[in-house]
Amino acid sequence: MKNAVKMNVLLALAIMGLGMSVVGCKSAPPLTQDQALAMIQAKYDATPAVGANIVVNNDGMVAGATAKLWNRTTIYPNKYWADFTLTPEGKKAVKLTSGGDLIKWRPDSPTDKKYAVVMVTVVANHLKARDIRDIQDVGKTKTVTFTEVVDLTGVPDLLVNIAHNPGNQLSTTRQADFALDGDAWKLQSIE
């Protein structure tokens, strides 16, 4: 009987000790998808706004010339090379990555569908975070996969249409890492 009482006392003490250790342990607060999205977007909003790169292929060159964003100023003897100059309207819409206002169109052949030039929109925007996926625990950190999207708000419709032509990348899958800082999750990095 004495052994049974001792055993019950020891068991009760063990359960109390386990309970105290569990109560004493502080668990990390949850990180919701809305919180993760808000922190990622705040990071993007804190960086300077930039123009969007737009890859302009042959179809885009024709559309831009038709809309008078650029004019053909020179055609070369091979009949498929040409120089185009940005019009005043074009200068309000795009900048050339090479600087200046001269577009040097130099495809390899008249049927070259891969040739393109890169222009940058004058309208500057911040990247946007979208489509937060499942939040994963990685050791003491959390990782979330999301879609980073180029924001074309304020860009002329013609350039938005050109931006949807082949060769343009308007969204990218990224990963964000979060670390616990005191009692709150903080964005650590975006890869």
Residue 15 lies in a domain: no
CA distance 125 to 53: 11
pLDDT computed for residue 27 by the predictor: 75
Query: Cβ distance 52 to 163 under 8 Å?
Result: yes
Query: Cβ distance 146 to 176 under 8 Å?
Result: yes
Residue 186 lies in a domain: yes
pLDDT computed for residue 16 by the predictor: 53
Q: Which two tokens stand for residue 114?
A: 């891969």
CA distance 66 to 38: 41
What ranges in 32-77 are assigned the alpha helix state H?
33-46, 58-66
The parent domain of residue 125 ranges over 30-190
Residue 9 lies in a domain: no
Residue 10 lies in a domain: no
Local structure of residue 93 (DSSP, 8 states): H
Residue 139 lies in a domain: yes
In one-letter notation, the amino acid at residue 68 is K
Domain count, the chain: 1
- Name the residue with higher pLDDT: 88 or 11: 88
Residue 14 lies in a domain: no
Model-level pTM? 0.78
- How many residues are there in the chain? 191
Of 66-70, 100-104, 133-137, the range with the lowest mean pLDDT is 133-137
Residue 182 lies in a domain: yes
Query: Cβ distance 69 to 85 under 8 Å?
Result: no
Q: What Cα–Cα distance (Å) separates residue 41 from each residue in 44, 86, 132, 145, 176?
A: 5, 34, 11, 14, 11
Q: How confident is the model at residue 22 (pLDDT cuts 50, 70, 90)?
A: very low
Residue 19 lies in a domain: no
Query: Cβ distance 119 to 94 under 8 Å?
Result: yes
